[in-house]
Amino acid sequence: MKKNELIINLEEKKATLKKGGGEKAIEKQHARGKLTARERIELLVDPGTFQEFDLFVKTRSTYFGLDKKSIPADGVVTGTGYVNGRRIALFAQDFTVIGGSLGEMYALKTTKMQDLAMKLGIPIIGMNDSGGARIQEGIDSLYGYGEIFRRNVKTSGVIPQITIMMGPTAGGAVYSPAIMDFIIMTEKATTYITGPEVVKAVTGEQVGHEELGGGLVHNTKSGVAHFLAKDDKDAIETLKKLLSFLPDNYLQEPEIVDTGDPVEREELDLRNIVPIDPSKSYDVRDVINKVVDNGDFLEVQSLFAKNVVVGFARIGGRAVGIVANQAEYMAGVLDINASDKIARFVRFCDAFNIPFVTFVDTPGFLPGTDQEHRGIIRHGAKVLYAFSEATVPKVTVIMRKAFGGAYIAMCARHLGADMVFAYPQAEIAVMGAAGAANIIFRKEIKNAENPEAVRQEKIKEYKDQFANPFKAAERGYVDDIIDPKDTRIVVAKALEFLRTKSEEPVQKKHGNIPL
Ligand code: HXC
């Protein structure tokens, strides 16, 4: 049957609106090395699954000639689709349309997706590329941001919320991603509260866009972003991988996948990777890669606070969160940034029923005025809080150093670890033997004829007593001391066994995590 005029008219209308800002603007977008909102959606969702919402929405604002301007779809493409067969809701900011800036109706389109995702219990994905509040619309855009933020908070811990930044995310646009669970940033993306011009006007400081808030800055320095991507395509691939580890909502568990990697796999290399000599370094990712299925590990915040490593993997097909001290970087010490990184990751895993495995090898919290004055106590407390609060299965492997507060903080039995294993070279003590001997035998060392010889003797004495896992095992703080080659087998068995763990959180309005 022939198309009638109504259908022809509809198709034309849709085609025009779908061109966004038009050919020239699209060319400009491509010249900046960016894809358009619709091209990004096409890359993200399974073919033919995108259902667009609100293509015909228009701004109601008439200020500063907005009523005369063409603003297709009001600058944001919203809808639902499937990613590798799983449902998601999304909004993709269209920079070709008035800089992807947010006005009242644009915000309503966004909150409609947030509400829908919440009702259905499915992840919400934001693709950011926006100059922030639509300046011409004035306070209506502020109202819009407020409504989005409130939903980000309401949704937090209910469904995964993930942002991919692929262009500017300026001004009011920054806080929605910041409340969400993960931010993936391309190298060229920028995010800042105020751009270089405002910075110059207010402080006199001269700084470029990327230097102020580029992908690299937020992945290495501020810790705002969780993944750095080469370009739009790479960012979307990262998102797909991340989603594969997550359930759709807090009432579900992540999918169990047949990874083809047997759990009964011994790894003789693990006997050598973690050196017996506590002063020797190694890359903890070599341990993680040997333990998880097929060595497939998605590291989160790999460029920030490198003294700890966190990320997602599978063991026996089950999604797990991995938390580990990184001996290779600052000897795996816990500092402010590492504490923030661990605490936020652990709370995410707990909220979404992802058990975690903690690999411990840390000399302690980082001492010094810099850390103390910036609040290592307040930040370190987050780690204790997050591990204690978590009700998912918690498995801890003490590989080498586990001293003092950091021993407790790294998910010790005392914070509720369900199963704790230690390597034979583990040292579980109040502090390192050298430091301990210097304090408790200070007088004897000082008054000795040969102070150095006595010092070494006392260090040995302390080491023999405490620098091993047996004292902790005698008390039941460690459940078993294992051959490192069996780590995968032991951890996989533990996770399998703990799968029915159920621990009701204490009834309260909410806790008060130190922030
Ligand atoms: C309206 C905007 C806009 C905005 C960009 N445009 N940002 N229109 N409101 N916030 C328009 C531009 O006028 C231009 O229109 C088109 O989008 C493309 O922008 P360009 O500047 O040509 O692109 P580019 O050179 O790539 O620079 C991108 C940019 C820059 C860095 C994002 O546009 C910029 O600095 N924009 C303002 C950013 C900002 O200060 N936002 C804060 C808003 S206040 P034409 O017609 O020329 O193509 C805010 C506070 C809210 O957000 C607080 C809530 C809590």
User: What are the two backbone dihedrals, phi and then psi, of residue 332, each rounded to the nearest 5 degrees?
Assistant: 80, 25
User: Mean pLDDT throughout 278-299?
Assistant: 97
What is the percent of the chain where pLDDT is above 90?
88
User: Mean pLDDT throughout 455-471?
Assistant: 88
- 73 and 106 in contact (C-beta within 8 Å)? no
Looking at the DSSP bridge assignments, the partners of residue 183 are 163
Burial of 277 (0-12, 13-18, 19+ CB in 10 A): exposed
Q: Do domains 5-244 and 270-432+468-500 have the same CATH topology?
A: yes
pLDDT digits (tens, 9 = 90+) for 477-490: 999 999 999 999 99
Residue 128 CA to ligand 1 center (angstroms) comes to 13
Strands (DSSP E) contained in 132-285 are 161-170, 182-186, 190-192, 227-229
Q: Which amino acid is at 243?
A: L
144 lines ligand 1 (CB under 6 A): no
Q: Which two tokens stand for residue 232?
A: 């739009």
The predicted structure's pLDDT at residue 466: 81
Residue 99 CA to ligand 1 center (angstroms) comes to 6
118 lines ligand 1 (CB under 6 A): no
Residue 178 has pLDDT above 90, yes or no: yes
315 lines ligand 1 (CB under 6 A): no
Q: Which amino acid is at 371?
A: Q
Higher-scoring residue by pLDDT: 172, 351: 351
Residue 135 CA to ligand 1 center (angstroms) comes to 8
The predicted structure's pLDDT at residue 152: 98
Helix (H, G, I), strand (E, B) or coil at 281: coil
In whole angstroms, give the CA distance from residue 200 to residue 289.
46
The predicted structure's pLDDT at residue 507: 92
What is the percent of the chain where pLDDT is above 70?
100
The predicted structure's pLDDT at residue 252: 97
Which of the 8 DSSP states describes residue 59? -
User: Mean pLDDT throughout 296-313?
Assistant: 98
168 lines ligand 1 (CB under 6 A): yes
Residue 72 has pLDDT above 90, yes or no: yes
The predicted structure's pLDDT at residue 437: 85
The predicted structure's pLDDT at residue 309: 98
Q: Alpha-carbon dihedral of residues 81, 83, 84, 87, nearest 10 degrees?
A: -60
Residue 92 CA to ligand 1 center (angstroms) comes to 16
The predicted structure's pLDDT at residue 206: 96
99 lines ligand 1 (CB under 6 A): yes
The predicted structure's pLDDT at residue 489: 98
User: Mean pLDDT throughout 146-168?
Assistant: 97
174 lines ligand 1 (CB under 6 A): no
pTM of the model: 0.95
Residue 1 has pLDDT above 90, yes or no: no
User: Mean pLDDT throughout 311-322?
Assistant: 98
In whole angstroms, give the CA distance from residue 130 to residue 163.
13
The predicted structure's pLDDT at residue 225: 98
pLDDT, averaged across the chain: 96
Instruction: Give the mutation target among 36, 135, 139, 141 for probing the ligand 1 site: most ligand atoms within 8 A of CB.
Output: 135
Which of the 8 DSSP states describes residue 421? E
pLDDT digits (tens, 9 = 90+) for 267-279: 999 999 999 999 9
Q: pLDDT category, 139, cuts 50, 70, 90?
A: confident
Residue 243 CA to ligand 1 center (angstroms) comes to 31
Looking at CATH, the fold of the domain delimited by 270-432+468-500 is given as: 2-enoyl-CoA Hydratase; Chain A, domain 1 (3.90.226)
Instruction: Give the mutation target among 94, 101, 174 for probing the ligand 1 site: most ligand atoms within 8 A of CB.
Output: 101
Residue 200 has pLDDT above 80, yes or no: yes
In whole angstroms, give the CA distance from residue 276 to residue 400.
8
The predicted structure's pLDDT at residue 32: 95
In whole angstroms, give the CA distance from residue 309 to residue 126.
26
The predicted structure's pLDDT at residue 54: 97
170 lines ligand 1 (CB under 6 A): yes
Cα–Cα distances in angstroms (integers) from residue 395 to residues 146, 410, 479, 499, in the given order = 40, 11, 11, 12
Residue 31 has pLDDT above 80, yes or no: yes
pLDDT digits (tens, 9 = 90+) for 242-272: 999 999 999 999 999 999 999 999 999 999 9
The predicted structure's pLDDT at residue 301: 98
CATH H-level superfamily of 5-244: 2-enoyl-CoA Hydratase; Chain A, domain 1 (3.90.226.10)
For the chain, the structural domain boundaries read 5-244, 270-432+468-500, 433-466
Instruction: Give the mutation target among 98, 110, 198 for probing the ligand 1 site: most ligand atoms within 8 A of CB.
Output: 98
Residue 199 has pLDDT above 80, yes or no: yes
Is the four-CA dihedral 331, 336, 341, 342 of positive or negative sign?
Answer: positive
User: Mean pLDDT throughout 180-184?
Assistant: 98
Catalytic residues, by residue number, are: 171-172, 405-406
The predicted structure's pLDDT at residue 436: 85
pLDDT digits (tens, 9 = 90+) for 399-456: 999 999 999 999 999 999 999 999 999 999 888 888 888 888 899 988 989 999 999 9
